A = this chain, B = another copy of it.
């Protein structure tokens, strides 16, 4: 029996006793290692990687991308930010646009938001009923399993766990700092009113996923980067990959 995750019981800050400078040194090393692993992945082209970043507004999804993948080559990366569906996307099932963005062998695909939005924002606002939520959850599990068994896709899903107070700080910063104004969206404050419902829906999605999630504390941004880089490096180090020999 798998233990259910309770988000309220999981800290949003770095573990006690962790030092920022020390951790940043470790992160730097991990980021470089991830770059090396990506090169191997790309050269061998037998496996693929999907990194899903989900979290409330202000949880630092963009920042995580910049920091963690800094040593990766863009030729081996694709980054897809899933926003409000276009008219064409909306005229298809919810996984249609997601499947198109799935990584080919040798590539790392990063999803900034993902197919999970379709059982988060849509559920929070009651745009879909509970039966549809259940059907979509089953479809998500089947989809992720398909990528895993049929395309050697290693899937890393991160829930960027932010506290409600830290979110407020982040959203206020966007309004206060001119070079963050472009990130400010008045709608974020409205979504914030549904905080508890979002937490419930996240918890439910996480607990019903067949491929497990990593709950990443993000109130300390330096720990966020360490956590994601460490998880990816540990995971990818276990994948048996070799540099292909010269073809003669």
> Contact residues of A with B, CB < 8 Å?
45, 88, 91-96, 99-100, 102, 104-106, 132, 135-136, 138-139, 142-143, 145-147, 149-151, 153
- A105 closest partner in B (C-beta): B91
Contact B106–A102 (Cβ < 8 Å) = no
Between A106, A138, A149, the greatest number of chain B beta carbons within 10 A of the residue's beta carbon is seen for A149
Q: Once the chains are docked, how many angstroms separate the CA of A102 from the CA of B102?
A: 16
Beta-carbon contact of A45 and B91 below 8 Å: yes
Contact A93 B138, CB 8 Å, known A99-B100, A104-B88: no
Q: A88-B104, A100-B100, A104-B88 are in contact. Are A95 and B146 (CB under 8 A)?
A: yes
Q: Which of A93, A105, A147 has the most CB of B within 10 A?
A: A93
State which of B94, B136, B150 has its C-beta within 8 Å of the C-beta of A136: B150
Chain B residues near A142 (CB-CB < 8 A): 138-139, 142-143, 146
Given contacts A100-B99, A142-B142, A145-B139, contact A150 B93 (CB under 8 A): yes
Q: Given known contacts A96-B151, A138-B142, what 14 new A-B pairs fall within 8 Å (CB)? A: A45-B91, A91-B105, A91-B151, A92-B102, A93-B147, A93-B151, A93-B153, A94-B150, A95-B150, A96-B100, A99-B100, A135-B145, A142-B142, A142-B146
Give A185 Cβ to nearest chain B Cβ, in Å. Answer: 27
Which 9 pairs between the two chains have the least Cβ-Cβ distance? Answer: A142-B142, A91-B104, A93-B150, A93-B151, A99-B99, A91-B105, A139-B146, A135-B149, A93-B146
Nearest Cβ in chain B — how far from A60, in angstroms? 30
Tell me the bound Cα distance from A56 to B158 in angstroms. Answer: 46
What are 22 A-B residue pairs whose CB atoms fall within 8 Å in the complex? A45-B91, A91-B106, A92-B102, A92-B105, A93-B146, A93-B147, A93-B151, A95-B146, A95-B150, A96-B99, A99-B100, A100-B100, A132-B149, A135-B149, A135-B150, A136-B150, A138-B142, A139-B145, A139-B146, A139-B150, A142-B143, A142-B146
Q: Min CB distance, A75 to chain B, in Å?
A: 15
